[in-house]
């Protein structure tokens, strides 16, 4: 039965969705074979954004996909859209593009250690007028900067375009290169987070509720997507806790892949 709220001008206003208390007792386990989370109702571009997530590798291989954005996951060329992957030994690599041109490089070894939880924040851009071809890009791990793209480097010349990309967790193009390990608390923001906010989010390794401003983190109003990856979720749906309604669907997975394994 549809819950009903107050009437307004003779109409019926649906009741607001219940606010669920923050929980951090679950994460999603991906087997590196064909598991992935489809959040394709959520779209993003790689300009003036920040992406936060927690990851615990379970002996992934180079090219294991952590987060990706595709126009058409079945037909996109994997290095010409938006893909963030594990890079042995103990680093990240990525390829971002506009479907034709692209840019790809890696962090090198940053001690993204196996069987250990790590928190990442990736920021791209510097303001509304930042061009897509070469905006600033930073990567933070466990509250500290580990990559600065001021020296563009790498392969190719194009970081991306304004084309909206559909979000997937642990899914390369055509379903290849899925993640081996755990993922927890994925969040997207429509702003570039500063280093103080990132350190507050890391919180000495204890995830916090990003819907609530606290200390140097004051970006709750910039959340565009927020998935707890199992907490207060019912298989196969992973709820978007930002309030924007872009829920994810566990694909090629079962309820046992929601595990009690957290930072």
Residue in the structure block whose two tokens are 């790590």:
118
- Grouping H, G, I as helix, E, B as strand and the rest as coil, residue 168 is strand
Write the DSSP assignment of 106-134 as a string of letters.
Answer: E-------TTS-EEEEEEE-SSTT--SSS
**Residue 6 above 60 pLDDT?**
no
Model pLDDT, residue 208:
96
Contacts 24+ apart (CB under 8 A), 254-258: 257/28, 257/29, 257/30, 257/31, 257/35, 258/26, 258/27, 258/28, 258/29, 258/230, 258/233
Q: Does residue 15 form part of some domain?
A: no
Q: Does residue 146 form part of some domain?
A: yes
The residue among 166, 138, 23 whose CA lies nearest residue 81 is 166
Q: Does residue 142 form part of some domain?
A: yes
Residue in the structure block whose two tokens are 């993003």:
44
Q: Kindly report, residue by residue over 70-80, the tens digit of the pLDDT.
A: 999 888 988 89
Give strand pairing partners of 168.
Answer: 38, 68
Q: Does residue 13 form part of some domain?
A: no
Count of structural domains, the chain: 1
Model pLDDT, residue 228:
98
Q: Phi then psi for 200, rounded to 5 degrees?
A: -65, -40
d(CA 75, CA 165): 13
- Burial bucket for residue 57 (CB in 10 Å: 0-12, 13-18, 19+): buried
Q: Does residue 172 form part of some domain?
A: yes
Task: Provide the residue count of the chain.
Answer: 263
Model pLDDT, residue 227:
98
Contact criterion met (CB below 8 Å) for 178 and 33: yes
Q: Does residue 223 form part of some domain?
A: yes
Q: What percent of the chain has pLDDT over 70?
A: 92
Helix (H) or strand (E) holding 241: none
d(CA 118, CA 127): 28
Contact criterion met (CB below 8 Å) for 37 and 170: yes
**Which CATH number covers residue 101?**
2.60.120.200
Q: Kindly report, residue by residue over 148-173, the tens digit of the pLDDT.
A: 988 778 898 888 889 999 999 999 88
- Give mean pLDDT, residues 169-195: 91
Q: Does residue 108 form part of some domain?
A: yes
Report which listed range, 2-16, 162-176, 187-201, is most confident: 187-201
- In sign, the C-alpha dihedral spanning 249, 22, 195, 243 is positive
Q: Kindly report, residue by residue over 26-37, the tens digit of the pLDDT.
A: 999 999 999 999
Domain that holds residue 238: 23-259
Model pLDDT, residue 133:
83
Q: Does residue 8 form part of some domain?
A: no
Q: Kindly report, residue by residue over 90-145, the tens digit of the pLDDT.
A: 999 999 999 999 999 999 999 999 999 999 999 999 877 788 888 889 999 999 99
Q: With cut-offs at 50, 70 and 90, classify the pLDDT of residue 18.
A: low
- Give mean pLDDT, residues 177-185: 94
Q: With cut-offs at 50, 70 and 90, classify the pLDDT of residue 184.
A: very high
The residue among 45, 3, 26 whose CA lies nearest residue 232 is 26
d(CA 135, CA 150): 9
- Grouping H, G, I as helix, E, B as strand and the rest as coil, residue 143 is coil
């Amino acid at each position: 039965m549809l819950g009903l709220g107050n009437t307004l001008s003779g109409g019926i206003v649906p009741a607001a969705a219940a606010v669920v208390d923050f929980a951090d007792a679950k994460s999603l386990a991906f087997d590196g074979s064909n598991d992935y989370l489809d959040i394709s109702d959520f779209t993003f571009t790689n300009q003036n954004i920040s992406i936060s997530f927690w990851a615990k590798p379970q002996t992934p291989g180079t090219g294991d996909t952590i987060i990706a954005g595709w126009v058409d996951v079945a037909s996109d060329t994997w290095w010409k859209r938006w893909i963030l992957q594990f890079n042995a030994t103990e680093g990240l690599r990525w390829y971002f593009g506009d479907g034709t041109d692209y840019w790809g490089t890696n962090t090198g070894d940053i001690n993204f250690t196996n069987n250990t939880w790590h928190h990442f924040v990736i920021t791209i851009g510097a303001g509304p007028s930042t061009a897509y071809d070469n905006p600033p890009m930073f990567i933070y791990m466990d509250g500290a900067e580990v990559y600065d793209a001021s020296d563009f480097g790498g392969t190719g010349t194009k970081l991306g375009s304004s084309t909206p990309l559909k979000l997937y967790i642990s899914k390369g193009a055509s379903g290849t290169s899925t993640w081996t390990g755990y993922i927890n608390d994925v969040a997207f923001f429509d702003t570039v987070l500063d280093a103080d906010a990132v350190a507050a989010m890391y919180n000495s390794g204890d995830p916090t509720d990003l819907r609530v401003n606290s200390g140097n983190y004051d970006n709750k109003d910039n959340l565009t997507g927020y998935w707890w990856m199992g907490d207060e979720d019912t298989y196969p749906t992973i709820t978007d806790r930002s309030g924007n309604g872009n829920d994810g669907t566990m694909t090629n997975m079962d309820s046992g892949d929601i595990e009690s394994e957290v930072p």
